[in-house]
Structures are given as C-alpha cells and as structure tokens.
Amino acid sequence: MSDRTGKKLLFLRNLSNIINHGVPLALQNQIRDAARHFFSLPTEIQRELLQADPFSPLSVFTGLKNEGEFRNWKHTLGFKPNPYMNTNLLPCILREPFVNFREKVGSLAHGVAKEIFAGLQLNADLLSDIHTRRQTMTVNYYPPCPERNFTYGIRPHSDFGSITLLMQDEVKGLQIRKGGNWIDMNPRKDAFIVMIGDQIEILTNGMYKSVEHRVLTNRSIPRISIACFYAPAEDDVIGPLGKFMSKRTPLMYRAVKFGDYLNHGFSKPLNGKSNLILSTMECH
C-alpha cells in the first residue's frame, strides 16, 4: 500500500499498526514535546495561550469528568483545522509541530483510506476523499490516577468517524475489545495505530467493524496520545452500499447525515458502540 507520496506502507502483523508511514520520528518527538510542555503549564496560562479567539482552531478541555459510576481522567487539547484558519492564532510552542503534523498525517490517512476502499473493490479515489474531508485532532494527557478502580482514561467507545490514526508515547493504556476480551495495544515508537470508525461499519453494512477501545489509567506515570480523526463532512449522508446487502446480509443500518450522527454521539456519555443504534432504527 502507498500514501499520497507513493511511499510504500508496511503493516505489522496485527494489522492495527503501520510503519514506514512517512511521518518523521523527529516530527513525532517534536509534537510530543510541545504537548508535554503545554500540559505542564498552569490552566490559566493554557487558556491565555489559546487566546479565547472564536476563530482559533484550538480548544482545551481540562478537569476530570464524572460519568455515572466511573470517571474519565484526562485533559484534552483539541485541534479542528479548516482551509481558512489563521495559523498565527496558534501558540508559537504548538504552531510548527501542529501544522506540519497535520499535513503529514493527512497524507497518510488518505493513503490508508484509499487502500481500504480499493480492497473492497469500491471507487477508492472518490470514497477516500469523502471519508477524509473532515479532520480533527486531539492531544490527550492522562495524569497519574490514584483511584484506578473507578476511573478510565476514557470509557469504552468506538470512534464516530471513518478512520482514526493514533500515535502513542511509551506508556501503556490503550486496549481494544476482541470478543469478550480486552487486548493491550503495546506502544511502538515508530508506528501509528489505525482504527476503523463507525462510518465504515455503516457503509459496509457491518462487514468491516468499527473498533471498540478504551484507555486505562495508572498510578505513577502520565501518558500522552495524539489522535487524528477523519470523517465525512457534516452534511454528507452515509448509508450501506448495495453491494454489501443480500438475502444473507439484509440491511443493518439506515442512512444518516454525519452531523446528526456526531451530535447524537456527543450528547451522551460514551458507552461502547451504542451510538450505532441511531443507524439501526427503522431498518427492521
């Protein structure tokens, strides 16, 4: 498989990691260092750096959130770029690594999407453009946690979009669900984790499953991960394609505008793959 630059991508054995992806290790280290520096600052300074400008593509979510019996234990710096964004609104400590990382990982995501759709014998050029046209990024900081029994780094969920590319630091925490078991995704410094999101499951009528995952906390070591999310535009309507339906595989999901799917998901606590219920209504 190749990215937009034509560079061959090599998959690791478990198919969830990719190496030789074209994102330089120096750039990976640069964005990690910038994130660590940002989250080491007092909350007041973090907010001052973001300028509270309504046109800024950055937002910060600090504090630890209760969701029923369990709590989410993380701080998040969100980055929602757009073609018209003013990069001067980005703090200087974040500007260069964020802009360069976005460009490199965006090319990688397009190559990954194209390979997925080509493997499904679909119009890979068209669908890879559609399913990577909305890009957001989160830098997640998980502080050491004293009460692991009642706390997640983030609760079990699947991602609402199409494809997620994740870069971890050297600290364990991410797990994926396989059957009834949770499997550790051990960090590898030179690799990105690729996770299929809900829109691909809907598009393929359940043939390709979105990945349910969670993050565990630890008592002593902070953890940083950087997740890049790729999805259709909010006005795009995604539904199962006809080639994935038959007498053996009847319609499982209905077509849903991605913006409605996204709003539904963000309106409630994360709960496994429950958001897919929105697309199963009226399909029976």
Q: What is the per-residue pLDDT across 12-63, written as a single tens digit (0 to 9) for each?
A: 333 467 878 889 999 999 999 999 999 999 888 888 887 666 678 888 886 5
Instruction: Decide: pTM greater than 0.85.
Output: yes
Query: Does residue 260 lie in a domain region?
Result: yes
pLDDT recorded at residue 85: 83
CATH (domain of 39) = 2.60.120.330
Query: Does residue 134 lie in a domain region?
Result: yes
Number of domains in the chain: 1
pLDDT recorded at residue 88: 84
Helical segments of 68-190, H only:
92-119, 124-130
Q: Average of pLDDT values for 1-6?
A: 44
Query: Does residue 3 lie in a domain region?
Result: no
Query: Does residue 253 lie in a domain region?
Result: yes
pLDDT at 69 over 80: no
Taking every pair of Cα atoms in the chain, the longest distance, rounded to a whole number of angstroms, is 59
Query: Does residue 4 lie in a domain region?
Result: no
Q: Average of pLDDT values for 274-284?
A: 70
What's the angle, vertex CA 235, arms to CA 229 and CA 237, rounded to 5? 90
**Given the structure tokens 């003013």, which residue do they identify?**
86
27 in Cβ contact with 35 (< 8 Å):
no
pLDDT recorded at residue 67: 54
The encoded tokens of residue 157 equal 């969920």
Note the pLDDT tens digit of each residue in 211-259.
999 999 888 899 999 999 999 999 999 999 999 999 998 999 999 999 9
pLDDT recorded at residue 2: 43
Nearest Cα neighbor of 173 from 210, 137, 225, 212 is 225
Query: Does residue 29 lie in a domain region?
Result: yes
The encoded tokens of residue 70 equal 């369990």
Contacts of 154 (CB under 8 A, 6+ apart): 72, 74, 140, 214, 215, 270
Range of the domain at 183: 10-280
Query: Does residue 252 lie in a domain region?
Result: yes
Query: Does residue 202 lie in a domain region?
Result: yes
Note the pLDDT tens digit of each residue in 114-159.
999 998 999 999 999 999 999 999 999 998 887 766 567 888 999 9
